[in-house]
Structure 1
């Protein structure tokens, strides 16, 4: 395989998992869309990028999908536009990952925290999960003529509420903002039970994500497709 795959993530921990696969360069944007666009374009201009993948954990939208569910994104729905993922790559992901689901991924410019918001987004888009990076990957893949794929693992399911400490506990480089979480808890200690549930769901999702790279091999399933 000449060149490699660029994995776009929100969290530094997700990027570290992606880079365990050969021929993968990963970047973390910390939930900042403009930063993600800049990082991806810089990597593409540097040469050698043959495909883009949105990789990481996500919020569940479809009812009944528990935390830890692997979702292969067949398309990304953003502002009324649907971007179709590369069919061969998506098929390879789905076939390689035990008990994976496949369906649309919804774009979001912020964390979808409340069950009612998740239900509204599901009813509007039919998407299985939502994240803040896949729409950027899809748009830039179309712009630069590159194939793209989406591999996400559900952290908080559709029925779970995320507290403010979980939403705002991230630094711009995608690493945890421990001080910010503690400050949020200090002012709103009642959110602790929801925060603990969110932390447990995130651990399950990250464990599932780690297992994914072991099944997929070099290039996160892309290496021998081109």
Structure 2
């Protein structure tokens, strides 16, 4: 079972930026996940690799930062459109029939936000920055990979969808000492984390809070992931 426009046996290629996101999606039949690390360049490379391996559709999936103050950790984002923070005229709609099928497959108690997702080449760390982007773009959330995956899908002419779950809220600032705690391939750098904590033990409480919010987002991602495999009725033109 796959999205509209994909062959019946073609897997859905899912791009993540973090290995923890890839683990959250593991075990869902019909999904082939590729993680090469965070950011648009690695996301583009992962998307191209998935297409070369035979993926018939692309998904950008993982955690994200909220721009809408109403969103809380673990809330699901299933946007109808992805916009580019750096080129405001550029935006990509997701595949509408596939989006509708995914919405229908979510658990009854899940009420996803379907507003615009903003793609950014760099992290949006400050509360002021999030507030500015929300006011300027109207986007509900931001990540660093979806706009790159959207570009690849559009160029290849394959269906595209996004599934994101909220980790940091619009009121959460990401402290600068987090920089370097991820390796380029999206795995945690335990050595850097330990050195930062030894240099500033007061950072532990903030790190634990951020970790708890990320875990809530990843649990929600695991629960929502089966919705990415569209219902057969959504493939009437497949």
Structure 1, 167-176 or 143-152: larger mean CA deviation? 167-176
What is the CA–CA distance in structure 1 between the aligned matches of 2:231 and 2:34, rounded to whole Å? 19
Tell me if the contact between 1:162 and 1:194 (Cα under 8 Å) persists in the aligned partners: no
Aligned equivalent of 1:222: 230
Deviations 1:168-218 (A, max 9, x none): 32112211111112222333444333222211111111111111124x2xx
Written as runs of structure 1 = structure 2, the 5 A alignment for 1:21-60 is: 21-46=28-53, 48-60=54-66
Which of 8, 12, 16 aligns to 1:9? It is: 16
Aligned partners of 1:161 and 1:194 also within 8 Å? no
Change (3 A) 1:2 1:140: same
Q: CA deviation at 1:223?
A: 6.1
What CA distance in whole angstroms lies between the structure 2 residues aligned with 1:71 and 1:61? 12
Conserved 8 A contact 1:31-1:132: yes
1:1-25 Cα deviation digits (max 9, x unpaired): 2111100101112112323211211
Q: Partner of 2:56: helix, strand, or coil?
A: strand
Q: CA RMSD in A?
A: 1.7
Q: Equivalents in 1 of 2:138, 2:211: separation in Å?
A: 26
Correspondence list, 1:137-148, <5 A: 137-148=149-160
Distance in 1 between the 2:138 and 2:183 partners? 31
Structure 1: runs of 5+ lacking an equivalent: none
Q: How does 1:77-226 map to 2 (within 5 A)?
A: 77-78=83-84, 79-80=87-88, 81-97=90-106, 98-214=110-226, 216=227, 220-222=228-230, 224=232, 225=235, 226=238
Structure with greater proportional strand content: 1
Counterparts of 2:211 and 2:24, CA distance in 1: 18
What does residue 25 of structure 2 align with? 18
- For 2:124 and 2:9, locate their aligned partners in 1 and report how far apart those are by CA, in whole Å: 38
Q: Are residues 143 and 162 of structure 1, via their aligned partners in 2, closer, same or farther at CA, if it must alter by over 3 Å?
A: same
Partner of 1:103, secondary structure, is coil
1:27-46: CA deviations, max 9, x gaps?
A: 11321432222232122123
Find the counterpart in structure 2 of residue 62 from structure 1: 68
Give the structure 2 partner of residue 76 of structure 1. 82
Number of aligned residue pairs = 221
Deviates further, 69-78 or 32-41: 32-41
Distance 2:190 2:177 in 1: 10
5+ residue gaps in structure 2?
1-7
| Shift of residue 167, structure 1, vs aligned partner | 4.3
